[in-house]
Amino acid sequence: MTEQERIARILGRLDEAYGTDSHTYLEYGNAWQLLVATILSAQCTDARVNLVTQDLFRKYDSLEKFAAARQEELEQDIYSTGFYHHKAKNIIACAQALLERHGGEVPSDIESLTALPGVGRKTANVVRGNVYGVPSIVVDTHVGRIARRLGLSANDDPVKVEFDLMEKIPEDHWILINLHLIALGRSICKSQRPDCEACFLKEECPSRGKASGSGKGAGKAGKASAKAGKKAGNASAKAPAWKKSPAE
């Protein structure tokens, strides 16, 4: 089997497992809302961000309101997403830059997007792919980890992984590969407890059984850990925002 044939089999099995809907997990109503949500998603789960933005986008229902926000107040509003000081500072500065440089419109080109405060290639590619339909590869921790395990990249740097995947993955799967590898990373190919025996890609994976904590027992341990994490998350969600740890 050639490398391209192996990749085609991987993509086919991912499509079969997770479908071909390229909708992001983040909830948003327009381009600038997705931009804000993606900034908030750094070192935070999409589920937590979606909880926070339910109220956030009602309170700040325009770029002008974000641009004029008091940083201390915005920090409290986004506290539970973690790193709230830097995120609040960047969101305010980003909103101001969009109004001053782009007339309130979110640009579609990578250079203009990454010139905005708090916007790196990952955030820019999320917006480009989901708002403008521009084929883009977003490399988060799940995507980078699984790309290395599948032998699709040997790099740790997210930008290098992005370009490795762009070379090997057909353009019509650039957006899908982001969502598929994130889903796989959350459910099966976890960082510490990958369940290799339960993975539908095990026949195509050169790292099968070699990753830390992999195997049948890892699947049970992973489920127990996920259950405990879910309970902790539910308890945290019920707590007042100002009492939550910024490291959630």
Q: Catalytic residue numbers?
A: 122, 140
Tell me whether residue 175 is exposed, middle or buried, using C-beta atoms within 10 angstroms of its C-beta: 0 to 12, 13 to 18, 19 or more: buried
Please tell me the distance from the alpha carbon of residue 26 to that of residue 40, in angstroms, as a whole number.
10
- Give the closest residue to 137 by CA, choosing from 116, 166, 99, 157: 166
Distances from the Cα of 39 to the Cαs of 3, 54, 85, 248, in angstroms?
Answer: 35, 15, 12, 15
Q: What's the CA gap between 93 and 75, in Å, rounded?
A: 14
H or E, element range at 75 = helix 71-77
Dist. CA 67–CA 189, nearest whole Å: 40
Distances from the Cα of 235 to the Cα of 133, 145, 156, 177, angstroms: 37, 29, 34, 32
